[in-house]
Amino acid sequence: MVGIGAVLMQGGHPIAYSSKTLADRHRGLSTYEKEMLAIFHVVSIWRHYLLGCRFTILINHCSIKYILDQRVQTMVQQKWLSKLLRYDFTIAYKKGSDKKAVDALSRNYQHDDNIERLLSAIHLNPLVYLKYSMSDGVLRYKGCIMISTSSPLCDESLQHLDSSPIVGHSRDLPLLLSSFVDAFVDFSVSGLFLPQQRNPNQTHQELPLLQTRYPPPDRLIAIGDLHGDLHKSKQALELARLIDSSGRWIGGDATVVQIGDVLDRGGDELKILYFLEKLKREASRFGGTIITMNGNHEIMNIDGDFRYVSKSGFHEFRVWADWFRIGNSMKSLCDGLEKPKDFFEGIPSVFPGIKKEFYDGIRARIAALRPAGPISGRFLSENLTVLVIGESVFVHGGLLQNHVLYGLERINEEVRDWISGLKGRFSPRFVRGRNSVVWLRRFSDELAKNCDCSTLEHVLATIPGAKRMIMGHTIQEAGINSVCENRAIRIDVGMSKGCGDGLPEVLEINGNSELRVLTSNPLYQNTSKSSLKADQEEGLGFLLPERGPKQVEVKA
């Protein structure tokens, strides 16, 4: 072996190549050490892609899989290994016959008479072949790597380019640069590498229909209002065994419903939006689903109502705007990219009656969250406003008969269209006012006698198969609970530090029938767990602290 090579791939498509001639001092190394050197080399040059992300290294040397478990033999190995420990990776074996592209890059050339003759001619008369050059043992023509026609890399490259959204032509380089800048801005704001997946040129007619009704999954977790508290959000997800301590999805094929109100009252609003988007992608790879919903605070912010924004919330969006502006400046320097429009266009620079120190934060929130804004369009436009899963109806505030008659699918579509900038500046009427789907409190009073159970029963009767309505919006100081013979389940426990600093709790539903409250309340820890079934004649209500986790009352 006289060289090492590697291909960086994402989603099965190559995004970068590396090839390097081995220095004389490295050619006497064992095969194991050469493979280790190759890993260290490519991880170092691609660190800007890999830092902060979990990735897999495929290698055809089987024993290298155990690099992290074996004893370090030499000082050189110790040096390489210590630098690799900064990264989050796994190593998997892939047989050499499946790695044609990498073999080609590592100078494992197949014999080609034409290439051999060309190399000899260049060596004898370099002035005649000025368009050719040799660099690190690689033959180039006008700066481009030359590949033998007999090399398997030809077929590999063509196959990857044909199936890639970036088809390998120079005219696509501006799009590639734009994607890189977007990823750079995302990482600067959230600390996450989150390539955008939505096609910016997608028209309204091409937008997928929102799914309003789902069959019951084996396991469903419902999470209440988060209000800008990333730490408590992660605690709730860990409590439900959906993420590990590093924030990675471990929930398998579970379904998660976050019932709205990510925004306001805290300083981690954007970080939560990015984190939930990351989890959506991770969950989908394991058959899981995360559904996010609109609460009244999402609607208020898109409408430009910032009454409940915290000082740290304005600061977070101001920082986002600074990075977004830098990204647009970078894009404006690239020929072939349409000049980004001023995302502050039409936004006032002065707000009478408000302290000047908040001006930049206010302008940033308006720009980011107004209809078709960079944040609202990306993270909120596909939120649901009403959701039916099996026998459970999910809505932030509550539903009345006129909402059901208007149409649940119609509500979701019209809110989505408004957030996407297709329905004017102001929100639809069914998400405004005290009796709207995101503001209603008729079924959420902590005193059961104040809840309108007869109206709720009638509303559920008009939704086929529905037995219960699950809501957020109104803080339940006693924790998750139910009223109206278990037809109304209230899951907003005020967990955010910005509105109660309550202990995280989530609702777990197994199939259609078994409902359980998972709580971080120490009174309910380290006790035996029990559950109730919907086909039982009479439920036991909430179990006493010494008996186990709290249970939602279930009646036939």
In DSSP notation, 113-152 reads: HHHHHHHHHHHH-TTTTTTEEEETTEEEETTEEP--TT-H
pLDDT at position 423, please? 84
* The one catalytic residue among 227, 297, 403, 473: 297
Whether the pLDDT of residue 226 is over 60: the answer is yes
Give the angle subtended at the CA of 275 by the CAs of 271 and 276, to the nearest 5°.
120
pLDDT score of 533 = 37
Structure tokens at 338: 């349409």
pLDDT band at residue 206 using 50, 70 and 90 as cut-offs = low
**By the 8 A CB rule, do 194 and 274 touch?**
yes
Which pLDDT belongs to residue 193?
80
Please tell me the predicted confidence (pLDDT) of residue 135: 63
* d(C-alpha 132, C-alpha 135), whole Å: 10
For 336-362, what is each residue's pLDDT tens digit? 788 888 999 999 999 999 999 999 999
> How far from 342 is each of 187, 325, 339, 356, CA to CA, in Å?
22, 9, 9, 22
Q: How far is CA 407 from CA 215, 296, 462, in A?
A: 19, 19, 11
Q: 554 is written with which tokens?
A: 């279930």
* Residue-level pLDDT at 90: 82
More confident residue, 250 or 1: 250
Alpha-carbon distance of 418 to 381, in angstroms, equals: 8
**Of residues 32 and 381, more confidently modeled:** 381
Domains of the chain are 3-106+154-161 (3.30.420.10), 113-147 (no CATH), 165-199+306-369 (no CATH), 218-304+373-519 (3.60.21.10)
In which element (H, E) is residue 158 found?
helix 152-163
pLDDT single digits (tens) 501-541:
999 999 999 987 789 999 988 877 554 433 433 333 333 23
Q: What is the pLDDT of residue 115?
A: 73
Query: What pLDDT does residue 155 have?
Result: 58
Q: Is the pLDDT of residue 163 over 60?
A: no
User: Which of these, 331, 315, 239, 256, lies nearest to 290 by C-alpha position?
Assistant: 256
- Mean pLDDT for the stretch of residues 429-449: 92
495/276 Cα distance (integer angstroms): 17
> Hey, which bits of 247-376 come out as E strands?
255-258, 289-292
> Confidence band (pLDDT; 50, 70, 90) for 266?
very high
pLDDT at site 152: 56
Active site residue 48: no
Residues in Cβ contact with 99 at an 8 Å cutoff, skipping those fewer than 6 apart: 58, 60
End-to-end CA distance of the chain: 72
Average pLDDT of the residues in 117-139: 74
Summarize the chain as % helix, strand, coil (round to 5): 40, 15, 45
H or E stretch covering 369: helix 359-369
Helical (H) or strand (E) element with 489: strand 488-490
Output the pLDDT for position 192: 87
Return d(Cα 56, Cα 91) in angstroms, integer. 6
